[in-house]
Amino acid sequence: MGVATYVQGYKKNEDCISGKIQSIGWFEVNKNKIQDHKIENSFMVFHEELHSLMYIMRYEVPYDLGFYDLRNLTFYYHIVDYITGNGYCQINNEPHEVMFDGKNVLEALSSIYNVFDRLPLDEEIKTSEKEILKELIEILTIISNNDGIVSFTLG
């Protein structure tokens, strides 16, 4: 067991968003205000690292796997480097967190899932991780259908 990753979807509410980088789908969100905007059935916890995501981001030529635009994968840096969860900032004494456009993350993880069997990962890792990716895609579909944003918090 490793560090737990908590995934939660929220409805995109402009009153809760203090900043954004639209081109990569990053949102700086007031953590207190957004709590009232949780999307139903959009929560999960997993304890394993996403080795497939780490491999693709560190792979010398991700284009060989069909990844031509890596912008949707930028949330990787928050998950792999354990920034989110410890990376809150305070603005006017209110906690803020970086969250990600649900559609972008769904597109990225769906693409990884589609090439998953081609990745050179241990079979033991593949078995558990494929199930995690499948569940994440289900959660992200719900978030995406609600034009939502997703939080990855480590704990």
The domain locations on the chain are: 5-154
Quickly list DSSP for the chain: ----EEEEEEE--GGGEEEEEGGGTEEEEEHHHHGGGEEEEEEEEE-S--HHHHHHHH-S-GGGGT---GGGGTTHHHHHTT-TTT--EEETTEEEEEEEEHHHHHHHHHHHHHHGGGS---HHHHHHHHHHHHHHHHHHHHHHHTTEEEEEEE-
Integer Cα distance of 121 and 115 in angstroms: 12
pTM of the model: 0.87
| Predicted pLDDT of residue 87 | 53
| Predicted pLDDT of residue 113 | 92
Integer Cα distance of 148 and 19 in angstroms: 15
Below-70 pLDDT ranges, the chain: 1-2, 60-62, 69-70, 72, 76-88
Residue 37 · residue 16 · CB < 8 Å: yes
| Predicted pLDDT of residue 77 | 66
| Predicted pLDDT of residue 79 | 61
Integer Cα distance of 90 and 44 in angstroms: 26
| Predicted pLDDT of residue 3 | 76
| Predicted pLDDT of residue 83 | 47
Q: What is the pLDDT of residues 100-116, one digit of tens each?
A: 999 999 988 998 899 89
